[in-house]
Amino acid sequence: MPRVVDHEARRAEVVAALWRVVSRDGLEAVTVRSVAAETGMSTSVVSHYFAGKDDLLRLAFRLVLDRGLARAGAAPPGERARSLLAGALPLDAERRAEARIWFAFVGLAVSRPDLEAEQRRVYRALRTALARSLGDDGLDERFDAEAEAAALIALLDGLTVQAAFEPWRLSGRRQLALLDERLAALGIG
Amino acid sequence: MPRVVDHEARRAEVVAALWRVVSRDGLEAVTVRSVAAETGMSTSVVSHYFAGKDDLLRLAFRLVLDRGLARAGAAPPGERARSLLAGALPLDAERRAEARIWFAFVGLAVSRPDLEAEQRRVYRALRTALARSLGDDGLDERFDAEAEAAALIALLDGLTVQAAFEPWRLSGRRQLALLDERLAALGIG
Q: Which of B108, B116, B123 is nearest to A111 (CA)?
A: B108
Residue segments in chain A with a per-residue pLDDT below the cut of 70: 1-3
Contact B162 A123 (CB under 8 A): yes
CA distance B9 to chain A (A): 30
**Residue B159 sits at the chain A interface (C-beta within 8 Å):** yes
**Residue B16 sits at the chain A interface (C-beta within 8 Å):** no
> Are A8 and B93 a contacting pair, CB within 8 Å?
no
Q: What share of residues in chain A are helix, strand, coil (percent, to 5)? A: 75, 0, 25
ipTM strictly over 0.90? no
Q: How far is CA A46 from CA A2, A17, A109, in A?
A: 20, 11, 24
Q: Which of A58, A68, A164, A73 is nearest to A119 (CA)?
A: A58
User: Is pLDDT at B169 greater than 90 in this prediction?
Assistant: no
**Residue A162 sits at the chain B interface (C-beta within 8 Å):** yes
The whole-number pLDDT of residue B2 equals 58
* Helix, strand or coil, per DSSP, at residue B120: helix
Q: How far is A137 from A164, CA to CA, in rounded Å?
A: 28
Name the average pLDDT for chain B. 87
pLDDT tens-digit readout, A159-172: 999 998 888 888 89
Selected residue of B162, B173, B178, B186 to mutate for chain A interface (largest A Cβ count, 10 A):
B162
Q: Which of B10, B100, B108 is nearest to B64 (CA)?
A: B100
Q: Searching chain B, which residue's CA lies closest to the CA of residue A153?
A: B158
Q: Which of B109, B151, B95 is nearest to B127 (CA)?
A: B151
User: Is pLDDT at B60 greater than 60 in this prediction?
Assistant: yes
How many helices (H) and strands (E) would you count in chain A? 9, 0
Contact B150 A157 (CB under 8 A): no
Of B80 and B93, the one with more pLDDT: B80
Contact B154 A161 (CB under 8 A): yes
Q: Residue B166 burial by CB count (10 A; 0-12/13-18/19+): exposed, middle or buried?
A: middle
**Residue B103 sits at the chain A interface (C-beta within 8 Å):** yes
Q: What residues contact A153, with CB distance under 8 A and at least 6 apart?
A: A85, A123, A126, A127, A130, B158, B162
- Name chain A contacts of B119, Cβ cutoff 8 Å: 165
- Name chain A contacts of B162, Cβ cutoff 8 Å: 123, 150, 153-154, 157
| pTM recorded for the entire structure | 0.84
Selected residue of A96, A127, A161 to mutate for chain B interface (largest B Cβ count, 10 A):
A161
Q: How does A159-187 read in b/e, with b if 16+ C-beta sit within 10 Å? A: bbbbbbbeeebbeeeebbebbeebbeebe
The whole-number pLDDT of residue A3 equals 66
